[in-house]
């Protein structure tokens, strides 16, 4: 009985330490060479900011007229700001975590009603394009998922530009792209990508 109690106490202590460690790692800027809020990249005139720990929050970003862009300087804030600045696009649902940007109930090539963007599934018939919003699922240490913008596409590779990848990760990342029987698959477990309707063209607007 005493051994069981000791074991339970040890397990509880380990859980507390693990939780504390997770909080330190994900909420703290561990990179002394970067300052939270610093511009680390830019794509089509839209800035990418450094956020330090992936769960760090610097308050909510709003457009001049109050449209919710998201929490500074999270990945969601970048993609929403990108679509707002580049296409003057406002999402009907102005909230949600990264994983919520992909709707499993939206058919291939149909309009995602919460985002007002055309949605395509990974391993489907539609090849990703520059300016697409690409969505990645949650992971063991990231329950919120991740979103980014497609910056370049070749026959074998997709490059993304992202905000808040972690204190030591870069704003650009590349994933293998493979076409089999007319189906395009982006490696890295991407759920899919979203795109503005063909009738829309870039229309920069001030924040």
Cβ proximity of 128 and 158 under 8 Å: yes
Would you say residue 16 has pLDDT above 90? no
pTM: 0.87
Distance of CA 34 to the CA centre of its chain: 20
Average pLDDT over all residues of the chain: 89
Quick check: 11 pLDDT over 60? no
Helix (H) or strand (E) holding 175: strand 172-180
Both tokens assigned to 18: 């693990």
pLDDT tens track for 106-159: 999 999 999 999 999 999 999 999 999 999 999 988 999 999 999 999 999 999
Confidence band (pLDDT; 50, 70, 90) for 56? very high
C-alpha separations of 78 from 28, 49, 72 in Å: 20, 8, 8
Q: 23 — phi, psi (to 5°)?
A: -65, -45
| CB-based contacts of 97, cutoff 8 Å, min separation 6 | 76, 144, 145
pLDDT digits (tens, 9 = 90+) for 24-47: 468 899 999 999 999 999 999 999
């Amino acid at each position: 009985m005493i051994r069981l109690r000791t074991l339970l106490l040890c397990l509880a202590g380990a859980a507390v330490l693990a939780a504390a460690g997770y909080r330190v790692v994900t909420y703290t800027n561990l990179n002394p060479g970067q300052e939270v809020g610093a511009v680390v990249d830019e794509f089509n005139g839209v800035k990418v900011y450094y956020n330090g720990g992936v769960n760090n929050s610097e308050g909510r970003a709003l457009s001049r007229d109050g449209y919710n862009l998201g929490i500074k300087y999270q990945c969601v804030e970048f993609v929403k700001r990108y679509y707002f600045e580049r296409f003057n696009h406002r999402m009907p649902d102005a909230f949600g975590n990264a994983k919520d940007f992909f709707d499993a109930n939206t058919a291939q090539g149909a309009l995602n009603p919460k985002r007002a963007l055309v949605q395509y599934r990974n391993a489907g018939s539609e090849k990703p394009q520059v300016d697409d919003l690409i969505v990645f699922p949650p992971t063991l240490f990231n329950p919120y998922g991740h979103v980014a913008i497609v910056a370049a596409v070749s026959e074998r590779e997709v490059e993304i530009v992202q905000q808040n990848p972690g204190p030591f990760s870069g704003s650009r990342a590349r994933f293998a792209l493979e076409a089999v029987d007319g189906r395009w698959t982006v490696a890295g477990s991407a759920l899919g990508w979203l795109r503005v309707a063909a009738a829309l063209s870039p229309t920069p607007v001030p924040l």
